[in-house]
Copies of this chain bind each other. A is one copy, B any other.
Amino acid sequence: MATIIGIAGFNGRMGQQVAAAATSLPDVVVSAGLNRGDELDDSLHIDVLVDFTAPEATIERAKACAHRGLPFVSGVTGLSPKQLDDLLVASETIPVFYSRNFSIGIGALLRVLPELSNALGGYDIEVIEAHHRHKADAPSGTALALVEALRTAQRPTYVHGREGTASRQPGDIGIHSIRGGGNSGEHTIIFMNDGEEIRIGHRALSRHTFALGALRAACFVVGRPPGFYGMEHLIDI
């Protein structure tokens, strides 16, 4: 039986991608598209709400879902610690699936990066991310997630363009943001020491891959107990 999905942020770029991707999957149906101001009406018969709005709206949608007992999936970036906390509170009542990047590849890398960062303890690390020229924020939410995964070995983060190259300390992880053209999203992690370099790169070929990941998350989360879920639950190792 198909999973019936509502999309919050339906007219946005990712909302439209999710709606389009759903048409290619036999076991998924989008039955509701919500935009700003649209209530989560009780008469809507959906199994899960997929949210690609913005931090404030995300928290409101999460609360409405918790009130109604509806599973909630969100791919929003830029949540404040307080907002992340609100999401966690909602996850005590409903299953909440949250990821800043719904690609399987990024999810798999996030799994192995802490191990690599430990094994390559004394190596310098820098992260380069590249996105299309219209992307407003820098660094990307995914770059920040990668750095969190790398920072297990107590390496501070450092964002180029904020503190300047000169202030970089040993052990810092630098982030460089490339903007231009139509790049759907590319992230590269470089480990360097005197004798060798390891480069781990991920490239999304289109935003379609993120939409498919969000739908996969939506199908996963329906019927689960309340809790806070992420890509690590989608990836079999």
Contact = CB atoms under 8 A, between A and B. Distances in A.
Interface string A167-208: 010000010111111111000001111111111111111101
A20 interface: no
Contacts of A212: 195
B190 A196 contact: no
A121 interface: yes
A148 interface: no
| This protein's copies in its complex | 4
B181 A192 contact: yes
A233 interface: no
Contact of A235 (B105, B119, B132, B182): B119
Contacts of A193: 104, 181-182
Interface string A89-133: 000000000000001110111011001101111011110101011
A120 to B, nearest CB: 6
A204 B183 CA distance: 10
A236 B118 CA distance: 7
A40 B197 CA distance: 37
A43 to B, nearest CB: 35
A82 interface: no
A192 B186 CA distance: 13
Nearest to A180: B124
Contact of A199 (B190, B191, B199): B199
Contacts of A124: 133, 179-181
B128 A128 contact: yes
Contacts of A103: 195-196
Contact of A180 (B192, B209, B237): B192
Contacts of A109: 116, 198
Contact of A119 (B111, B128, B165, B196): B111
Interface stretch (A3-11, A57-65, A156-164): A156-164
Sorted nearest first, the 6 A-B pairs with minimum C-beta distance are A195-B209, A181-B192, A124-B180, A108-B119, A182-B194, A180-B192
Given A132-B194, A160-B176, A196-B209, 19 more contacts: A104-B119, A109-B198, A111-B115, A118-B236, A119-B235, A119-B236, A119-B237, A121-B236, A124-B179, A128-B128, A165-B179, A174-B179, A176-B176, A181-B192, A182-B192, A182-B194, A182-B205, A194-B205, A198-B200
